Structure 1
Amino acid sequence: MPSPAVDDYLKTIYHHTEWQSESITPSQLAAELGLAPSSVTEMVQKLAAQGLVSHRPYGPIALSETGERRAAEIVRRHRLVETWLVREFGYTWDEVHDEAEVLEHVLSDRLLEGIDERLGRPRFDPHGDAIPDADGQVHREDFVLLGNASEGHEGRVLRVSDRDPELLREFDRAGLVVGRTVRVLGPARYALDGVEAQIPASAADAVWLTA
C-alpha cells in the first residue's frame, strides 16, 4: 500500500535524474532525505522487494516501471498543489514546498482532477519543473545548466532549483525567474532580457536554460 515514507523515497529518486542522467546512490539518497545510511539501505531493500526499484549492494538505485509510475503520480500531486497555492492563494514560490509536502498525501483523486482542470492543466510548476500528466508523461525542452552554458549562449530560464527557500528569494530579488532570457557575457557576467545584471554566483548550479 502507498505510504508517505515510500512516496518520499520514490519522489526523491525520480527528481534526482530529471535534470541530469546519473542515477542516485544510497549515500546521496540518505543525504537528500536527511536520514541515516542504514535506514535508507533497509528501506531500499524493501522497495526492491516490492518491485519499485532496482538496486544491487553499494550500487546506484533506479526506479522500476512500476516505481516510475508511482513516483510520477506523487510528483504530479506535489507540483499541482504548488501551482494551485501560487495561483489561487497568493503564495510565493519560496513558500509552497512545505505545504505541498503535506497536501500531496491527503488530496483525493477527484479534488486533484478538479484543481488540474481549474488551473487549465498546467505543464509546469512555479519553479519550472514539469508536471506529469495523468498518464505520467512529461514534456521538457532541451536544457543546459547555467554554469555549463558557454560564453554567448542565450536561453530562457526553464527551471530554478527549489531546494533552498532563501536562494529562491535571492533569485527573485535579482529578477532571475522562470521565463526571463539570460545571455552569458563572460565568466560570471550575464544579461537579463538584454540588460547586464548582477546574478548570484549560486545560480550557476541552480538555474537551467533552454539549450
Structure 2
Amino acid sequence: MSIPEPAARRTQPNADSAAEDYLKTIYQHTEWQSDPVTPSVLASSMGVAPSSVTEMAKKLSAAGLVNYAPYKPLTLTAEGVARARGVIRRHRIIETWLVDEMGYDWHEVHDEAEVLEHSISERLLDAIDSRLGHPRSDPHGDPIPSAAGTVDESSALLLSSAAVGTSGAVVRISDRDPSLLLSLAAAGIRPSTMISVVSRHDDAGFVVRVAGAPGADADTAALVPVSASGGSSIWISAPA
C-alpha cells in the first residue's frame, strides 16, 4: 500500500485518509500513557470491525508504517510515527485556528478538524500556523508537532492517579467528550489552570480547588467537583 506524501496543494480529500486515521489513532493511544494498542482496542476506538483492523494493519505493515504480527499489539515504525505526526499537526493547528480566529469553542472543533485535516494543503496549513504565531499546543493542551516532526515532551500526571494534596497546572484535557469540556470550562478548568486535589472518592470522582474559578474571589480558589470520567481525562503537571 502506498501512502503519498502531502501534496503542495490538495484540493480533494486525501484518498488515504482512512490509513492516516489508523496511524493517528495508533500514535495517540500511547501519547499520554504506555499501554500498547491491541487490534481489538483499536477496533473499538475507531468503531470498526476487528477484521477491518487486521486488513488495514497488514497494508500498513507492507508499506513499512506499522509493525504487525497476529494477536500482538500494533506499533508504528519510525516512518509511521513521522506520518502520524504530520496528520496530528494538521488536526491540532486546525483546532487552534477554529478556536482562536473562527469563533468556535473548544468542545466544537474536534469533528471539524477530523474532516479538514485530510483536505487542507500544506501551503495553507503553514500560512495558518504562521498567522497563529506557531502555537506549541492546541486548545486542549495536546502538543502540536513542528513542521520538522519534533514534539515537545512534558511530564504529566493523570488526575485519577493523583493523591489528595497534589497540586499542579492542568497540562491536557482529552477532547473525546464535548459535554465534559463544557462542564469543565464552566468550572474554570482549562489547560494552565492551577488545581489542587482536595478529596477523592474513587468511582464518585474528586473535589479539586481551582484557582480563578468563576465565583471565586481574585485571591482565592473555588472547590469544584470533578466526575470520575473527568479524572480520567485531565492531566496535571507532575510534582517535582
Q: TM-score, normalised by structure 1?
A: 0.97
**Larger helix proportion, structure 1 or 2?**
1
Matched-pair identity in %: 51
Per-residue deviation, 1:106? 1.1
Runs ≥4 in structure 1, deviation > 4 angstroms? none
Partner of 2:152: 139
* Candidates 193, 196, 201, aligned match of 2:223: 196
The within-5 A match list for 1:155-166 is 155-166=168-179
* Candidates 72, 84, 92, aligned match of 1:71: 84
Partner of 1:176: 189
AA matched with 2:224: A
Per-residue deviation, 1:41? 0.7
For 1:17-54, what per-residue CA distance to the aligned partner results, in whole angstroms no more than 9, with x for missing partners?
11001111000100111000011111101111111000
Q: What RMSD in Å do the two structures reach over aligned CA positions?
A: 1.0
SS in 2 for 1:124: coil
CA distance in 1, matches of 2:105, 2:95: 9
Structure 1: give runs of 5+ residues left out of the alignment.
Answer: none
Check whether the contact 1:80–1:116 (CA below 8 A) recurs between aligned residues.
Answer: yes
Partner of 1:210: 237
Per-residue deviation, 1:83? 0.2
* 1:101 counterpart = 2:114: yes
AA matched with 2:106: W
CA distance in 2, matches of 1:14, 1:202: 22
SS in 1 for 2:94: helix
CA distance in 2, matches of 1:22, 1:201: 20
AA matched with 2:25: T
AA matched with 2:151: V
* 1:62 counterpart = 2:89: no
CA distance in 2, matches of 1:183, 1:195: 10
Check whether the contact 2:145–2:151 (CA below 8 A) recurs between aligned residues.
Answer: yes
Structure 2: give runs of 5+ residues left out of the alignment.
Answer: 5-15, 201-205, 212-220
SS in 2 for 1:73: helix
* Candidates 37, 60, 66, aligned match of 2:50: 37
The within-5 A match list for 1:10-29 is 10-29=23-42
Partner of 1:89: 102
